[in-house]
Each structure stands twice: as C-alpha cells, then as structure tokens.
Chain A
Amino acid sequence: MLEPMVKTEIVGLRSTLDSTMACLQRCASVQLLDASSELGLKPAPQAVDEGELGESARLRHLRTRLDALISLGVVPEIPDDRFPVEARLDQVAAELDQLAPAVEPLVTRIDDLEAERSTLPRHVESLRRLAPLVPRLPELEAYETVAILVERRHAAVIGWVRDELAALLDTHFEVISDQVDSDTVGAVLVFPRDRSRRVHALLAERQVSRVHLPDEYRNMSLTSAITSMEQRIADLPVEIEATRAELWELLSFRTHWHAARDNVDRRLAQLDALHNIGTTERAFAAIGWVPQRHLDELADALRSDVVGEVLLTTREAAPDEPVPILLTNPGPARPFELFVGMLALPRYGTFDPTVLMAIVMPFFFGLMLGDIAYGLILFGLTTWVRRRWGSRSAVVADLSRVLSIGAVWAVIWGVVFGEVLGDLGHRLIGLEPLWIDRQEAIGPLLLLAVGIGAAHIFLGLGLGMWNALRTSDRHLLGERAALLVALSALFAMAGVAAERLPRGVMTPSVVAVVVALAVLIALEWPLGLVMGPLDLIGAISNVLSYLRIAAIGLASVFLARVANELGAAAPLALGIVIAALFHSLNLVLGTFSPTIQALRLHYVEFFDKFYEPGGEPFAPFGASLAAEPEVAAPAPVLIETD
C-alpha cells in the first residue's frame, strides 16, 4: 500500500535553524520542498551570510583531501565506540596541512614505483623477443642500438628501413632482422652514435615505431638492459612496501578521519538543504512531506532537540501537487516492491499492486516450474544465497525471498502434476499426479492457463473500474466495464460452443458483446470505430497470452524427460552425470524463464488494466547518510587554513 503523506510546515526563530536542521537530518523523515519560492521568502544561504557559502566550499575541499588520504588504505576504520566522534573539523584540517609535506612525496613515490612495476615487464618482454637477433653483439661505445617490432604483414618496412639507412649512412650500419614470433618481425639497427639524430629523424618522419626504453636503460646493451630490468622487477615490491610502511607510520593512527568525513558529509547535506529553507530577518520556514505515521515522532524530536520555539503544522496540498511515494507493505510482500519499482512507482492516490503481485507472481512461477525436486533444490539454494549474501545486498535478499516463495509453489504444483525431476518420480516410485498429468493432458493444461489468465485480466479490469470510480473518471469506467462485459460474454459463448453451458445463454451473450462493442466505439467516437474493436481484440490476446504458463511448463517437463531418457540410455555412472547436467540446465532455465514470464504477465497484461505510474520515490533529508554517531558532534567549526 501507499503510505499516506502529510504536507507539513516547520516555522522557528533563525537562532534555532541549525539545531532544527540537525534534528530533521537525524529523523530522516521529511522530504524538503522549496519553501522560499512557495512562501515568497528569501532562500537561507543568501539570507544567512557569505560565511555559510565559504564554509560549504571549504568543507568540500576538506572532503576531497580526506577522501584522497583514506583511499590510500592505510587509515583503519575503527568503530566509533573506540574513537567517538569528537574530532573538530578545524583540527583535522590543521592535521592535513601539517602532514601534507611529508605525505605527498611518499604518495608520489608509491605511484611512480607502481607505474614502474606495471611497465617494466612489458619492456622485458619486448627485449626478450629481440634478444635472439643479437646473441653476440658487442657493447660498442661509439654505436647506438635501436629496436623495431612490426606486425608480420608489414615486414616489408624493415627492407625499406635498410635501404633508407644505406642511403643515409653508406655502409656504416647494421640491420639484423628475423621473425620473433608467429605475428611479429623484429629488427635491431646498429649505427654510429654521432648519426643518431638523423637516424631518429628519419624513423620519426617515416612513422616507424621504435621500442622505447626508460632513460636509465637507454645506453645499455640488450642483454644488460634485460638483466637490469629483471633485477629491478625483483626489487620493486620491497621498495613499495618500505614506502608504504613510512606512510603507515604517518597515517595509521588517524582513525578519527573516518568520523570526521562523516561529520563533513552531514554538515554539507545540511548546507545543501538550506537552499530549500525560506527565511526572514528573524525567522525561518521549512515545508516538506512527512509520512503520516512519523508525524508524531518528528514533533517529539523537534520538541526535545531544539532549544527554543519551533512550530510544526500541517498544510493543505494543492489538488494536482505531486506527492512522493513510500511503499509500505507487510513483510512477506515487501520483496515484491522491487518489481513494482522496476517498472515505475504508482501515482499517489492510486492502487499499489505489490500485495497482489506477491500472491500471484509466485503462483505463476510455481505453475510453470511445477516439480517437487526442482522446487526443493531451488528453495535450498535461495535460502543459502540469502544467508550468505543477503545482508550485503538488499536486492539479493529480495530476489532470493521471491524465488523461495516461488519454489514453495513449485513444490505444491509438483505434487499436483506428480513430477519429481520430470517423470523420474513416476519411473522410480510410481508417483501419480493428483490432478493433471502435464505430459499427457495438454488440452486441460491449456484450458487451465487460459482460465487463470481470464481471472487475472478480470481482476485487473475490476481494479481499473475501482480506480476510475475513485477518481470519478466516467470515460475510463465505461471502457473497463465494456471490456469486462464483452470478455465475459465471449467466454460464455465459448462455453456454449463447447456444450458446457445451455444454448439459451448464446443470445444474451451475443447481445452483450454487441452492446459492449458499441459502448467502446461511442466512448472514443469517431476514432472508436477503429480503437473500440482493437481494444476488444487486445483484451482477448491478453487472455491468450497466459498460454505461456502452459507452454513454459511443457518445455520444462519435456526437457526433464529428455534428461531422464539420456541418462537411462547410458551406463549407470555416466547416465547419472548426464542426467544431472541436463537437470541442472533445466533448473537454471526453469528459474530464469518463469520469473521473466511472470513479470511480463504482470507488467503487460495485468497492470495495463488499472496501473497508473508516475510516482516519484520519497527521498527524506538525511536518509542517504550513515547512522548518527553515538556521541553527538558539536556544531562543526572550520577555521580558514589556506
């Protein structure tokens, strides 16, 4: 259901603004609106003083510096009970200024060492590929060596380089080239050092890429460079750790920085929220949406936290004013809010389908999967996933709960269909279905699916009529009622054709269809001439769309049967492995596909009949911040340190 919201106004003396904002932030139950424009007052930051704006800029700067140091990973996060939040932000800023000259060179050094650690192996790799080309090349002081690696399809470049060097240097050079691996050809050019500039200019002009080495290795021979680099790679971890240890000594006991960062976040959120506060010379006013059930708690909190007079009153909302949406459903239905929110939140004052979805969606899921063993395995897996990862991710917890409920329905329908791993239960222990054998009685299964679809669509149309009545929308009411009557009459006609209803029902049914169609056409005249019949055809196709419940179920049971047949055809051990593989695949498909199809049946066929999207989620001031510290921080004071 949608939580009833109340529009409230909070008025107080300017001297109580800070404590009121802190209280609202702690309660996290008010979504602030722009009071300055609604009441025609000045916004708070402009009205207060420029110091507030300066404070915001300085806090953001402090936040960035704290983030940069904490992200180094050498400031342990100690719980607040050991280091209560009493760190004044001015002290923290002073600490940062004092430490900066010592910390910055260390951080730069670590960055450089890490960069070296990641690039050196690539250089060694390149040089190793070239090494076989020059096994006994002497270290010649007067000569320079340049290495080139080119893709094999561009090997002709090396011949061209040889020609160009001959033209430039006559015979005073050497080019040694060979294929260094399946895709690359390497070449080493040796030429007098005094011609270095001209050779490099030639290569650059012709866009020939050379193997670039760091400066300290540039004047070494190939083998010496490889040896030096390998030694350096071995030394780097030790050097990095030593530098980190120095950094650790400087920063490891600054555990209060985490609390300070939280403090900065709280204060910044307060300063941002001030934009919504309207002020006069002596007073302030805030307007916001509060969930009705939190109104008394908020009043009590203001009374106890704020020293001085603050008045909390409720305001009349404008008829078309958008109201934020807070879904509050009973515990078992709550995970399904995820699926409602995935589409779009309902508009305030309309129907929240979460509870209906919580009942019907797992029912559909179970009907499609419909197997005792699959249901039990899925229940076990989802329970394990929830216990293992549920506390870390709300989405994982919600999804696993939804699938657990679906798994229970799969077991129930598995009993109804008499299925354990497809027909394995029947083969091994002679298990018989309680009602429908899906593998044999396909016709009744299809009828069951259509019947369930009709009931679901009728429920949707009924809810649409209820919504239309609440909003006094006669047009919508007429359309939904006409569709309901037409569909009912068409089903009655089908019942007569199947000799399940008396023939006397046929005439009134035909009349009902004609009248309903006429109403649909009249409601949208003249467009209704096309749209009316289309709406009716659309509603029929919506009902037929529920055949997918039977189709997906049939695919699942036949795949399980294939797994059993293949398993039975092989020797016992191999057969068990094959059957287990196929059943695992079927379980994955049988979990994914029914979830998507059940969702689709809700989103497309069911919601279309009544659902009115367009709600914006409730976003209370203070909700995005961490819990309030155990020891309340004093109002933060930041001294100018720059």
Chain B
Amino acid sequence: MQAKISVQNVSYTYADGTEALKHVSLTIRANEIFVLFGPARSGKTTLLRLFNRLSDLTPGADYRGTILVDGQDVFALGVNVTDLRRRIGMVFAVPTPLPGSIRGNLTYGPHMAGIRDTALLNERIERSLTQAALWDEVKDRLDHPASRLSGGQKQRLCIARSLMLEPEVLILDNPTSGLDPISTSMVEESLYELKQQYTVIMVPHSVQQGARVATRAAFMLDGELVEIDTAERMFKHPKDQRTEDYITGRFG
C-alpha cells in the first residue's frame, strides 16, 4: 500500500529546550486508522501538529528531518500552508466550537477557502454531519448557537467541521477525552464510516480504545518511536518489553 504520510528521522525541540521528538521515522498508509499511543508528554501531539504545520504557531522550535505528505515535503519552500491544512483536517482533545451557530461553524472552513455556493454547502453540511453521526440530532436547529450543544455533540460537530473541507487525512487528537461512554462510542462508530474515505490518524483516550479502532498502531515513549505494527500484533503480541508493560498497565 502507498504511503500517505512519511515521517523520516524527525527531531523536534521546543524553544524552552524540551526535546519532544527524537529521530522518529514512520509511515502512515492511505485509508487506514492509524493509532498513535503512549503516555502523556511522549510527543504524540507534537508529531501530529507537524503534519499540518500547526507547529508554525509555536515559534522558536528546532525541527530536523523530513515529513512527506503524498511525497511532498510539507516544510519545503513554496508549500501552500492553508491548502495543506485543508487537506489534513484536525480535531482537538477539547471540543472547540467557534462562537456562532452550528451552520456558521460548518461553513467557516469553506468560506475561508472562498466556497460560497449555498447548494453545495448545504449538501456538504448534510453529508459531514451524517458521517460524524450528528445529523439527526441537529438537522432542525442548524442556526442555533453551537455553544448550547452537549460536550459529545460539540466534538462530533468539530469532526463534521473538519469534514466540510473534504480532507484527505483526518487527525483526531484524543477526541473523546472529555466525553461520556455513549458519546465516545458514537464517535468511535463514526470512525469506521470515515475510514472508507479518509486516512484517519488518532491518538486514543486509552489503550483499549486504540485496540478497538486501529488498523495499525505506533507506540511512543519520551519522544521516541518504540514500536510500529498492525493492531493485531501490537496489542496482542508486542515485540518490545516497554510496549508490553504499557499495554498491560504496568506503567503510564
């Protein structure tokens, strides 16, 4: 299978001297659910924010190595960053609807890209909300404030908001951290739907969640990639002792 994202020997040090990533190399394939797991501060979010260059918002860091998306170096000169971010959608750990209506949240990305055709937008709104398993709950109140939704609804709205841009890759950075079990399972279910069309990269809330959803998985520890394998082998027969210790709950 072809490499969607290829991380080659990437190291990353924040302005304050924290070494967040140390010589990480891995490959993410198209149309898989790639799970990136490990204890807090192991460098997962730092790595994900390099894929769509949200890392640009944290100046002063030292970055080495190469990240290719479809064979194109994302840090090369002349790369259109806004276009890159439209191709790689991102959902954050805390649900972050923007102030305004549900519809306003959904159309924000397309509007910024200059898409204003109402018919096209309405079609995308329905499809995105359906894929994020939220359509039935909000279809009659699209113009209500997004802030009145429940936590789980907000997070699914954020997923739908990313899908509005029809990205190729969807990054979910611990998307169920603040959600109750029912909302969590709804978000998880929507992932299988998404996998058909998108490459999904996810930081799971727990090892169990990772094992439930992953096609392939990578275990990170202290900024290093410890192990990368299919979900089957990773969660049942890890090769590295540290992975096994983490999965079985001996630390972390």
Do the two shown chains form a genuine complex with each other?
Answer: no
- Seen from chain B, the residues whose Cβ lies within 8 Å of a Cβ on chain A are none
